[in-house]
Amino acid sequence: MFRRDGMGDDRVMAGDKDKQKEGPFDIVIVGGGPAGLTAGLYGGRGRLSTLVLEGGVLGGQMVTTDAIDNYPGFPQGVTGAELTGLMEEQARSFGCLIRRETVAAIEIQGETKTVSTEQGHYEGGALVLCPGTEYRKLGAPGEKEFTGRGVSYCATCDAAFFRDSKIVVVGGGDSALSEALFLRKFAREITIIHRRDALRAEKIYQEKAFAEPKINFLWDSVVQEIVGDQTVHKVIVRNVKTGETHDVPTEGVFMFVGITPRTAFLRGVVDLDEQGYIVTDEACRTSVEGVFGAGDARKSFLKQIATAVGDGATAAFAAEKYLEERER
């Protein structure tokens, strides 16, 4: 096992210009959300050479969350950006390396596991897969065309563009409501369009949303089309019970209609369920020895920061045990 002294920096890496193949690392972690950063912390603290590869924004979905009030230890709540910074600092303090690279492919040949990005290849004794999830697309005409020009999947990222605007939020779950509650600080009026006549979101979000005068609801309704020219001007909404359609003028459409795991690159590598979630046992072990799955991308009952963090710890610990046994 390649053990380190815990004084983490990037010096273990080969020269920055020559990234043909680096490692072997004890643990290579795919994804730098709360699951990946926790696995990184546990790996580093276990004196294992540990690399996190993050292809998007460090912190994952957590970093885009404005107010987190259900992560223990923060009685006044904490922002996703703050929590991400703290997790990153803690992981790095134990020697975990973090690189901004997207993993495109994984190859397993016996005990050798190779992770490939555009920049190069990384060998790992064990892999921890934490790629999380992404928002499902609605598939309505206009959605693709207006993405970035009025259609958004991230309130924290785009809310400021909709100051004093009239906008719609599509969905009825936790994300739709928590994002709508965040957007009220910017928008003039928010219409939540939900295909059912009741919300799925936690009661605490429902209470806050119903009490907010800027938020109104369109029940039993779906967005049939998004219409505009340079930017969005309206959505055409269909009532699923009556079949009637009508126009809702809007400057922005925020979509929160479910999530899907970001596991396309894992097809044929580890077992996935029918929806694409990584199948693991209680120790986060996948169908392949030495490969572990953690966080929202794992088939699990609850998808939250607290559970992602628990998964990350479990997966890294299981990876450490795997490496120890392999050495015997």
Chain positions contacting ligand FAD, by CB under 6 A: 30-36, 53-57, 60-62, 65, 68, 70-71, 102-103, 130-133, 175, 178-179, 262, 265, 295-296, 303-306, 308
Nearer to ligand FAD, 72 or 243 (CB): 72
Nearer to ligand FAD, 66 or 225 (CB): 66
Known catalytic residue at 157: yes
CB of 52 to ligand FAD, least distance (A): 9
Neighbour tally for 174: CB within 10 Å: 18
Find out whether 25 and 2 touch, Cβ atoms under 8 Å: yes
Work out the burial of residue 32: count CB atoms within 10 Å of its CB; fewer than 13 is exposed, 13-18 middle, 19 or more buried.
buried
CB of 66 to ligand FAD, least distance (A): 8
Known catalytic residue at 284: no
Known catalytic residue at 158: yes
Find out whether 56 and 34 touch, Cβ atoms under 8 Å: no
Which helix or strand (DSSP H or E) is residue 181 part of?
Answer: helix 174-183
Nearer to ligand FAD, 43 or 228 (CB): 43
CB of 314 to ligand FAD, least distance (A): 13
216 half-sphere exposure, CB direction, 13 A CA radius: 6
Residue 302: CB partners within 8 Å, gap ≥ 6? none
User: Which residue among the candidates 10, 18, 69, 157 is catalytic per the annotation?
Assistant: 157
User: Which residue among the candidates 26, 96, 130, 158 is catalytic per the annotation?
Assistant: 158
Distance between CA 247 and CA 218 in Å, rounded?
12
CB of 173 to ligand FAD, least distance (A): 10
Nearer to ligand FAD, 132 or 290 (CB): 132
Distance between CA 222 and CA 199 in Å, rounded?
14
Active-site residues: which are they? 154, 157-158
